[in-house]
């Protein structure tokens, strides 16, 4: 699901299922896309972040983001609150005759999963948050049993119309070569290629890991995504 501030009143129902638009954005991302143009990994108080969803959106507009997703763990409440805030913001701006920023907010979530007997995180984007297939993953706690298997998580996101991405693939116990190959085998759409593994200030993707993941994503024909993985009070940092 996506909200376009410039066209909330006319096209939100179409864009709610516009995963293809997000796919096209992912195809254009590069090392400098995040955090000033796009950010597809952020957390709010609705999981383990410190920002209220409304304050997060105020920051996003102030930064000038063009596209984003809130990816709270096992919850879409942060997205829903942000969506409501954006609708009100857009209506007020239109009523006052003020310009409305060109910002798209897609649905997002981060799900704890099992891949090659390793705990990994899978990011879901542009899915219908009301889909029955997503119910096991929006209960504010990690899924259990077969529902935690990566192939089930990915299939559920796809069934809800979305895209599935392996988060920060160089942070796990298993080598990224193994995990990305297996994730591609079970249907993953992309990998979080542009990620800051050592929390630098200012934020920038870790060069060695980026090169490694880019090579693997190219090998398996996967999309490349980016995000700050913000848990603190600034969208320009992880913590």
At residue 11, does pLDDT exceed 60? no
CB 134 within 8 A of CB 156: yes
Q: Inform me whether the pLDDT recorded for 225 exceeds 90.
A: yes
Supply the pLDDT for residue 5. 40
Task: Give the model's pLDDT for residue 74.
Answer: 98
Q: What integer best gives the mean pLDDT of the chain?
A: 92
Q: CB under 8 Å to 204, separation ≥6 — which residues?
A: 31, 196
Confidence of residue 161 (pLDDT cuts 50, 70, 90): very high
Instruction: Show the domains of the chain with their CATH numbers.
Output: 2-226 (3.20.20.140)
- Residue 22 exposure: Cα atoms within 13 Å on the Cβ side: 32
235 vs 106: CA distance, rounded Å:
16
State residue 83's pLDDT score: 93
pLDDT of 187-220, one tens digit each? Answer: 999 999 999 999 999 999 999 999 999 999 999 9
Asked if pLDDT for residue 10 goes beyond 50, the answer is no
pLDDT of residue 1: 54
Judge contact between 189 and 164, C-beta under 8 A: yes
Whole-angstrom distance, CA of residue 225 vs CA of residue 193: 6
Q: Pairing between strand 163-166 and 118-125?
A: antiparallel
């Amino acid at each position: 699901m996506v909200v376009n501030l410039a066209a909330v009143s006319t096209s939100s129902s179409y864009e709610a299922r516009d995963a293809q638009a997000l796919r096209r954005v992912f195809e254009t991302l590069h090392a400098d896309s995040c955090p000033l143009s796009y950010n597809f990994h952020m957390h709010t108080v609705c999981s383990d972040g410190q920002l209220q969803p409304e304050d997060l959106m105020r920051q996003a507009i102030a930064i000038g983001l063009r596209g984003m997703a809130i990816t709270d763990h096992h919850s879409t409440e942060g997205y829903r609150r942000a969506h409501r805030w954006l609708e009100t913001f857009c209506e007020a701006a239109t009523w006052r005759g003020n310009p409305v920023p060109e910002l798209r907010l897609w649905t997002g979530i981060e799900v704890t999963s099992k891949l090659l007997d390793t705990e990994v995180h899978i990011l879901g984007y542009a899915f219908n948050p009301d889909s029955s297939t997503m119910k096991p993953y929006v209960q504010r706690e990690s899924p259990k049993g077969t529902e935690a298997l990566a192939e089930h998580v990915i299939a559920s996101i796809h069934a809800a119309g979305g895209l599935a991405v392996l988060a920060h693939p160089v942070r796990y116990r298993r080598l990224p070569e193994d995990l990305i190959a297996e994730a591609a085998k079970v249907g993953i759409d992309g990998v979080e290629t542009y990620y800051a593994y050592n929390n630098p200030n200012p934020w920038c993707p870790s060069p060695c890991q980026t090169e490694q993941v880019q090579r693997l994503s190219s090998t398996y024909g996967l999309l490349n995504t980016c995000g700050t993985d913000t848990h603190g009070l600034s969208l320009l940092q992880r913590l």
